[in-house]
Amino acid sequence: MYELWFQAIATFLALLPIANPIGAIPVFHALTEVDTRSYRRHQARHTVINVILVLATFLVAGRLILGFFHLSLGVLRIAGGLLIARVAWEKATTSSHPRHRKPLIDHEDISFTPMAVPLISGPGAIGVVMGMASKATGWLDYFGCLLGIGLLGVSLYLCLTLGDSLLDHLGKSTVDAFNRILGFLVLAIAVQFVTDGTVMLLQEAMHKLL
């Protein structure tokens, strides 16, 4: 039992700074600002489910999946960065004036893309669970990793639901200004994703040459 919880906590702590549930709060709020409160909670639940499913899948069969499609983590990081950039550009350039805002309705599903993939369970988190899988020596280690992924899901749900309610209490002008700044910051994250992915590809190319 001690080894199980040790593995679970180790997995959770390894994923926490990469998945960054707290950092997902403003992004989630910005993407669901025109949705109803019930739909936001629906999106939060489905985001958590998608994150757990993605990480669990790559924990069990990550190398097989990447090998089948001949993909590398560098390629995934670049693709994720481009995907985030599209969303960020819309947030940074869309007018925040009330007449341009959409009414409070249920909007598009953002629980899988871009929230779960690539923002939370992106190439970095996938790399962590694949690294954990490579060190696993038995079913107990795998179960501990799955438990750690579940702990990440719980913390993510608490951050998205409680943090979203906190942002709701801010003034409208404050939230609008915040969303503008957020769009720029998320765009910067996207550029970082693409840059890191490019560096990874160059390192892989240099390694093959050597």
Dist. CA 112–CA 47, nearest whole Å: 6
pLDDT of residue 178: 62
Record the tokens describing residue 158, joined without a space. 């608490």
pLDDT of residue 101: 45
Phi-psi region of 70 (alpha: psi -120 to 50; beta: other; left: phi over 0): left
Place of tokens 């985001």: 47
> What are the DSSP calls for 71-97, one per residue?
--HHHHHHHHHHHHHHHHHHHHHS--S
Dihedrals φ, ψ of 148, to 5°? -65, -40
Dist. CA 10–CA 12, nearest whole Å: 5
Q: Are 194 and 77 within 8 A, CB to CB?
A: yes
pLDDT of residue 138: 87
Place of tokens 């020596």: 137
Distances (CA, A) of 28 to 3, 40, 113: 35, 9, 11
> What are the DSSP calls for 140-187, one per residue?
HHHHHHHHHHHHHHHHHHHHHHHHHHHHHTS-HHHHHHHHHHHHHHHH
pLDDT of residue 96: 44
How many Cα atoms are found within 13 Å in the side-chain-facing hemisphere of 47? 37
pLDDT of residue 110: 92
pLDDT of residue 115: 92
Phi-psi region of 20 (alpha: psi -120 to 50; beta: other; left: phi over 0): left
pLDDT of residue 84: 67
Spell out the per-residue pLDDT of the chain, length 210, in tens: 788 999 999 999 989 888 888 878 878 887 887 788 889 899 999 999 999 999 999 999 987 887 888 877 788 778 777 866 776 676 666 544 433 444 445 567 899 988 998 889 987 788 888 888 878 888 899 999 999 999 999 999 999 998 766 666 665 566 566 666 766 776 776 787 788 889 988 988 888 887
Closest CA to 47 of 174, 179, 163, 192: 163
pLDDT of residue 197: 82
Integer-rounded Cα Rg, in Å, for the chain is: 18
